[in-house]
Amino acid sequence: MRTLQLEFYKIRRRKVGLTMAAFLAAQFLWGLWAFHDPTPSEQAQGFLSLLYSIPILDAVMVPPVMAMLASRLADIEHKGCMYKQLETLRKPGSLYHAKAVCGLLIIAVTFAAQYALFILLGYAIGYQGSPDITYYLLSYGLKLASNSALFLMQLALSMLFANQMIPLVTGLCGSLLGLLLMFVKMYSFLPWGGNLNSALVMMDWDARTRQATYYYREYSPVELAAVGMIFVWFVLFYAAGRVLFTRREN
């Protein structure tokens, strides 16, 4: 607990909150631009469509954001050459754990704020009805799991490499992969496809009438396996990162 408190203390002037707020602001502005003038059909399906749009937006935007967050948490020690000293005061495993928990708490708050912002946006532009709380909570849980797995992968890279270019470029490549995987299938076993797996709503596009119809997704066994893979990645990245960091000579 003390180590976790210290992690928050260390980042108090590193503007991590501002970085996450900028990410949310960018998404919110995009939402305003994309949804500001809905047709009656879009208004009727509005809250349903958000469960499709948000994961797709996240598939592109979140990987570099997770890379940035992990880099902000880990780079402070690289810059000050602090790892050697820190590991004389506490076990490397607990240091890694504290950084992971610190990042995961920030992610949990960020995505809660993201859903709150988009729901507010939905009400503001006149979406009919109200969001289905069960599906929104489930979507939030899956999103949290998939993006936490991404964060843990990025944290492992950021802690292991002093050169932060490597984790950040991995984040950028992940973003491009997330975008391109979307064109292949709406699920993926890769860590960057987690946001696609967590989309609980699918869309049918009628090119003739130029209208989109949204419906709740019925997961096939393969898609369910892809969802399960998110949790495998989560455990794998945490364990691998912790073991590699603990064994590393600083």
Residue 163 interacts with other proteins (CB under 8 A): yes or no: yes
C-alpha closest to that of 1 among 82, 105, 83, 72 = 105
Q: Which stretch binds other proteins (CB under 8 A): 20-28, 42-50, 212-220, 231-239?
A: 20-28
Residue from 36, 79, 84, 90 in contact with other proteins (CB under 8 A):
79
C-alpha closest to that of 47 among 151, 127, 152 = 127
Residue 71 interacts with other proteins (CB under 8 A): yes or no: yes
Residue from 38, 46, 55, 64 in contact with other proteins (CB under 8 A):
64
Residue 32 interacts with other proteins (CB under 8 A): yes or no: no
Q: Please give the Cα distance from 56 to 43 (Å, whole number).
A: 19
Residue from 40, 134, 183, 208 in contact with other proteins (CB under 8 A):
183
Nearer to other proteins, 64 or 194 (CB): 64
Please, are residues 227 and 143 in contact by the beta-carbon 8 Å criterion? no
Residue from 30, 215, 216, 219 in contact with other proteins (CB under 8 A):
30
> Residue 229 corresponds to which amino acid?
M
Task: Characterize the bridge pairing of strands 211-216 and 201-206.
Answer: antiparallel
Residue 243 interacts with other proteins (CB under 8 A): yes or no: no
Residue 3 interacts with other proteins (CB under 8 A): yes or no: no
Residue from 95, 159, 177, 201 in contact with other proteins (CB under 8 A):
177
Q: Is 34 exposed, middle or buried (0-12, 13-18, 19+ CB in 10 A)?
A: exposed
State the nearest-atom distance from the C-beta of 102 to other proteins, in Å. 16
The 10 Å CB-count burial string (b at 16+, else e) for 111-138 is beebbeebbebbeebebeeebbeebbee
Q: In the complex, which residues of this chain contact other proteins (CB under 8 A)?
A: 14-15, 19, 22-23, 26, 30, 33, 60-61, 64-65, 67-68, 71-72, 75, 79, 163-166, 168-169, 172-173, 175-177, 179-180, 183
